[in-house]
Structure 1
């Protein structure tokens, strides 16, 4: 007996080659995701940001454009020309003037004092544009008038040349900013350097010797001839036997004030002729006398 066919619209679940029932596909999720990404106003850590945070603080001046970023009206005007690759010898005054006024209008409301010189340049641009719109006189006797933009072009070219030169100078290495000069102390003399004898110390030492000489003076009246050369020779003989001799020891064998004076003059003559040296280790230290140092 033949098998009965299943009802229309169904299939035999036991049949391997039956037709499966049609189930509608769910809507794709990728389309919604793309729509959210397109509507995102920003990305935060890689995630799209769909709404502005309610607790976000934006300073009042965060979006303002300050003209002090430029070094003057010429700097702003040159920036507008070079940014749009305009020919500086054939400036489209209408476009440049409109863009310039947009920049100045943003700062005029909040800082009129800063925008004063920029407003002056804006007036000059408007004047140049007005002169270019005036009809030209048809007169063969009158020479062709100069281009109203000529003076402005000349000023822009001069300013650009100076600006480029300033940038080149600023790129050069500067001491204190890019490098520092090394400082190295070099000892010039290898021999011992004795401190200079203060004349006041020498005077005090001499007064001390003179005071002691007065204590041992003899009350004998007589005429005595003293030779400075002889005392110079005596001092040299004394110094040959010792490396250093204290200043007061040179006057140990002198008996009277005149002899001490002559002996002191002889010592000064030897120092003047650089045959002896008068040294002192430190201020207020004993003064020593020695033969002049002569290298081998």
Structure 2
């Protein structure tokens, strides 16, 4: 008869005490050797000849059940009984034999199975009594109907769990392949930090102050005109330093208009402002549009 895995007693780990009056052999002086066991804190380097192993120290379980419904379903399926027409007398007898065996080893575990045994006996006793018709004259429900519903639902869940477990699982049945693909061989320049751009603009203003003129004049400046000037200066050149686009000899107004023109071109994606790394020189070039 199969038995649950929880019912088995643990094997003894301690050796019996040495018989009284026996001559205690001195502990061997063994170097670089691992003791096979310890007796009262003393290491043993070889197995004693009078080692006693209790008969119930080892038990073999052919089947393990998750609970009373699992055991009941096992008994029904093993003997090919119709789950809709369970022969309760035979099944209850086998069930009680099983419960009687596990009760000898684990009373706490057997209590859960005893509850199902009491339910089986109650259903059998109700089947032996003459059926009572309901108030509306209909036939009474089979006493086994509720138990059958529980068994059918449990079997469906158990089969579903087995199907899910049979599906391939990552880490158990297969591993995810990892392949590194180089997306692009062209270097990707880091984006220019706004603080670096402001600092470069401050340096240009400081240089412009060194070449100030005191002549007061009014000059009409066009942003579109300076946008064209910047584009012409970038034609045919791969990179131009940020400072080279500004003519510091013409005063601050021209520098401001040139800077605004460069920002407009960048906004319209006609030029790119790049920087190789932090604190490196800032370069400007015409925007490259792949065809």
TM over 0.5: yes
The CA distance in 2 between the partners of 1:145 and 1:226, in whole Å, is 103
Q: 1:293 aligns with which of 264, 275, 288?
A: 288
Deviation at 1:167, TM superposition (A): 1.6
Q: In structure 2, which of residues 116, 120, 135 is the aligned counterpart of residue 121 of structure 1? A: 116
Check if 1:198 corresponds to 2:198.
Answer: no
Q: Does 1:71 align with 2:71?
A: no
Structure of higher CA gyration radius = 1
* 1:88 alignment counterpart: 83
- Mark the CA change 1:240 to 1:164 in structure 2 (over 3 Å): closer, same or farther: same
Alignment match of 1:257 (pick from 240, 247, 252): 252
Q: Residue 154 of structure 1 aligns to a residue in which SS?
A: helix
In the alignment, does 2:126 pair up with 1:131?
yes
- The one-character-per-residue Cα deviations of 1:217-253 (angstroms, maximum 9, x if unpaired) are 2233332222222222221222124211111222254
* Distance change >3 Å, CA 217–CA 65, structure 1 → 2: same
Report the Cα distance in structure 2 between the residues aligned to 1:137 and 1:263, rounded to whole angstroms: 104
Would you say 1:240 and 2:235 are equivalent positions? yes
1:1-296 matches, within 5 Å, as 55=51, 57=53, 62-63=58-59, 69-108=64-103, 111-135=106-130, 144-189=139-184, 191-295=186-290
1:66-88 C-alpha deviation (Å, 9 max, x unpaired): 99x32222111011122233333
Mapped partners of 2:99, 2:278: distance in 1 = 74
Tell which has more relative contact order, 1 or 2 (C-alpha 8 A, sep 6+): 2
**TM-score of the pair, normalised by structure 2:** 0.70
Specify every segment of 5 or more residues in structure 1 that has no aligned partner in the other structure, as ranges.
Answer: 1-52
How many pairs were matched up?
241
**SS at the partner of 1:278?**
strand
Q: Unaligned 5+ residue runs, structure 2?
A: 1-48
Following superposition, the deviation at residue 191 of structure 1 comes to 4.1
Q: Is the 8 A contact 1:247 1:288 kept in 2?
A: yes
Separation of aligned partners in 2, 1:181 and 1:167: 24
Q: CA RMSD in A?
A: 3.2
